[in-house]
Structure 1
Amino acid sequence: MIQNLNPLPELGEGGAERRVRASLHHLATTKGLSPDLTALALILIAAAILWLLIGRAPAPVRAGVLAAYTTDLSQRTPHQAFNARRAAAAIDGATIAPGSIFSFNAVVRGWSADRGFLRAPVSYNGTLIDDYGGGVCETSTTLYNAALLAGCPILERHAHTFSPSYAPPGRDAAVAYTTADLRFRNPYRSPITIHCAASADRIVCRLETPIAVKLRAVLTSQVVSRQPPSTATVEPGSGGRRSRWRLRGRDGLTVAVYRTWFENGEVAGRELVSQDSYLPISRVRWEKQ
């Protein structure tokens, strides 16, 4: 019968070695084991303690996805998609320390020709023009939605003049270098890493952190008011090639976006994220003679 069965020893520094030596000494002196059996006992005891050490060691912490968001690029021009991918590459791998602020403009550092960006259609004060960096807002919008879903406080964000087709109303993020930025803060006690990748037809942003976050954010939108578009009639021959355009138009909207927090399946809180007003886009009708 085995007596003096003690609880598992504290496996601090040197604890395992002392335990092995004590057990070996006990077996050799009280049980009269031969050297061969003593050596075998040593191996078995060492294996058992190693198992205890491994079992008690904390499991490696794996990075968890706080949130992810995807934007469709299939309707963008080739140059817009190129610029979106280039901006995505610029922010990919960026790390936000606990409590620190991420600035889209500070990381991308502009989208001029010197930075490798191309001319593409871009909205400027409500007018569509060709300029360097057209398509970058697709990247900032994707990151904005990922940051919202990740629970990050938004410090700066700007809406477009017209609601863009690539994002739900109220959830776009317009950027203009030095004048309009996207900034948000990391509220967690561990760093957040941004992973942003773009293919020919989509862009995906993921925010990851090694800690487990119990809260989950869900975004909802409410249309506060709606303004129907006006209709413009274009006769053949007027405006050159533009006379062939036919635009369906788009309603003007005032949209409120809310972020609802869930913990263990229960609502833990709700906040108004933004309320934006977008101008209507006129319908253009081409009448044949």
Structure 2
Amino acid sequence: MRIIAILLLSLSLLVIPGCTMGKTSTGNLDSAQVPSSESQSSLRNGTFLDGLELSGLTVQEAKTKIKDWEEDKLAQNMLLVYNKIEVSVTLKELGITLEFNKVWDQLWQGSGRKIDSVLKIDSVQAHQALQEKLTQINRAAVDASYTIEKDQFVIKPAVPGRVVQVDAILDKLQNQSFATLPKQVEIPVVEVPATQTTEQIQTLAFDGIIGEYTTQFNVKDQNRSANLAAAANKLNKTVLMPGETLSFNQTIGPRTAETGYKDAYIIINNEYVQGIGGGICQVSSTLYSAVVLANLPIVERYPHAVVISYIPMGQDATVNYPNLDLKFKNNTASLLYIRTEVKPGFLTVRLYGKKTDKIIRLEQQIEKEMDFKTIMRLDPNLPPGKIIQDQAGCKGYLVQTYRVVKDASGTESKQLLSRDEYAPTHKILRVGAD
């Protein structure tokens, strides 16, 4: 009996502590207590992740539910808006994911409470996705430009470019939860100015004719007329930017039969003889007169050796490719636009630029006159005593040419342009030999 009693006492001591420990670990844990490990069978009531309820779920059930919930969230579209342009992009495309481990730790530590989701963004993936999605919004800047239409300066204004600020979009998505992540985001853009502005082009605009001159020619001299028209056509619609210098020879090019020029009278050794390109000097002389009337500076110019008939002395400009050239500079802030017009018997050169209040005229003063000689040349092909005039005589002159400028107040200033010496053109007669 004593042995049996000892055994019963021992059993009672073993059973009672076990029951007491069980009551302490479960029955005395109120709602404020936090589970110490995932060995618990389930999450407590009132456990939420954003709006997702996880109350009473086992570890595996909770994890599976969270993963499914994350997939649904990542498949949702975010609307990116710029003016009337709307672009949809999923959260998954933006590289947004749930910080699962961090969230799970918070859930177990705060079981029975509401926990906010924690997100992370793959910035590389997000940048690439946004650049591809929003490429239609980016726009390269378009420089201002101009055209000349019917002798009018027409400006095409500059168009600023724009670039989406991808980093600014990502900043709006940082430190957000699924619950607070915006459904719609205004797309921020930055304006990119054009390199060539409208104001810069406006400074180049011309507003009218600043210099014009017309000379006459003999349409019956077909070769000369053809050369004149060809050179005038090469010069026509030439544009000279501010600070640039125009070279007549470079603009017109070589005068050869291969370039389409014909034989016509030219001046060699003070005599009129047949040569390639005759008539081109009338174009350069007409241009020169228009240029000086436009009050532009002359860089290079040469007078003819003798007086010519189609333009006043001191206003001519002889050229000979590539040695003798006519050059002038555009010293204005606007561009210069050259127009030539060839009508039967008339050549006109007009210079378009920015008009001023100045009035320009030219004056010539003859400093000296020189008589011509009569040269007799025997011609055995003529009958004895027969006389034919090959070249009319013309006096030589020393001439000073002035440019007179009158401003808006009526004050005049006079500038010496040139002091030109023209040799006499001798009268040349062919006489039949006895």
* TM-score by shorter chain over 0.5: yes
Alignment of 1:1-289 (within 5 A): 63-74=207-218, 77-209=221-353, 211-233=354-376, 238=380, 240=382, 243-245=387-389, 247-264=391-408, 266-284=410-428
Q: Once structures 1 and 2 are overlaid, which stretch shifts more, 174-183 or 277-286?
A: 277-286
Letter of the aligned partner of 2:232 in structure 1? A
Query: Deviation string for 1:15-48 (max 9, x for gaps)?
Result: xxxxxxxxxxxxxxxxxxxxxxxxxxxxxxxxxx
| Distance in 2, Cα, partners of 1:230 & 1:76 | 29
Calculate the TM-score normalised by the size of structure 2: 0.49
CA shift digits 1:214-264 (9 cap, x unpaired): 2221100000000111234567x5574994116541111000000011112
Q: How many angstroms apart in 1 are the aligned matches of 2:421 and 2:319?
A: 17
- Looking at structure 1, the residues matched to 382 and 411 of structure 2 have their Cα atoms a distance apart, in angstroms, of 57
- Which blocks of at least 5 consecutive residues in structure 1 are unaligned? 1-57
Greater mean deviation of Cα atoms: 188-197 or 124-133 = 124-133
Which stretch shifts more, 247-256 or 82-91? 247-256
Give the aligned residue type for 2:231.
Answer: A
Contact 2:206 2:334 in 1 (8 A): no
**3-state SS of the aligned residue for 2:272?**
strand
Partner SS for 1:175: coil
Report the secondary structure of 1:168's partner residue.
Answer: coil
Partner SS for 1:70: strand
Identity %: 27
Equivalent pair of 2:388/2:431 in contact (CA under 8 Å): no
**Structure 1 residues 240 and 96: CA distance shift in structure 2, 3 A:** farther
**SS of equivalent residue, structure 2 residue 324:** coil
The 2-side partners of 1:274 and 1:194 are apart by 24
User: What amino acid does structure 1 have at the position aligned with 2:292?
Assistant: L
Change (3 A) 1:82 1:265: farther
Cα distance in structure 2, aligned partners of 1:146 and 1:123: 23
* Rg (Cα) greater in structure: 2
Deviation at 1:75, TM superposition (A): 6.8
Distance in 2 between residues matched to 1:62 and 1:191, nearest whole Å = 7
After TM superposition, the structure 1 stretch with the greater mean CA deviation from structure 2, 253-262 or 123-132, is 123-132
Quick check: 2:302–2:325 contact (8 Å CA) kept in 1?
A: yes
Preserved CA contact (<8 Å) 1:81 1:200: no
In 2, Cα distance between equivalents of 1:208 and 1:125: 37
Cα RMSD after superposing both structures: 2.5
By how many angstroms is 1:132 displaced?
1.6
Determine helix, strand or coil for the equivalent of 1:244.
Answer: strand
Question: Which string of whole-angstrom CA distances, capped at 9 and with x for unpartnered residues, describes residues 161-197 of structure 1?
Answer: 1111111111111000110000001121100100011
Kindly indicate whether the alpha-carbon contact (under 8 Å) linking 1:85 and 1:199 is maintained by their aligned counterparts in 2: no
Q: 8 Å contact 1:258–1:274 — kept in the other structure? A: yes
Q: Tell me: CA distance 1:113–1:248, structure 2 relative to 1, closer, same or farther (3 Å).
A: closer
CA contact (8 A) 1:254 1:277 kept: yes
CA distance in 1, matches of 2:220, 2:420: 24
Task: Please state whether the residue corresponding to 2:411 is helix, strand or coil.
Answer: strand
* Distance of 2:230 and 2:300 partners within structure 1: 22
**Contact 1:234–1:243 (8 Å) recurs in 2:** no
C-alpha separation in 1, matches of 2:235 and 2:308: 22
Distance 1:165 1:282 in 2: 15
Question: Separation in 2 of the partners of 1:257 and 1:142?
Answer: 16
Q: Quick one: structure 1 residues 240 and 162, their matched pair in 2 at CA, closer, same or farther if it must change by over 3 Å?
A: farther
Deviations 1:128-174 (A, max 9, x none): 22222110001000000000100110110111111111111111110
User: What secondary structure sits across from 1:275 in the alignment?
Assistant: strand
SS of 1:79's equivalent in the other structure is helix
Question: Gapped runs of 5+ residues in structure 2?
Answer: 1-201
CA offset at residue 71 of structure 1?
0.8
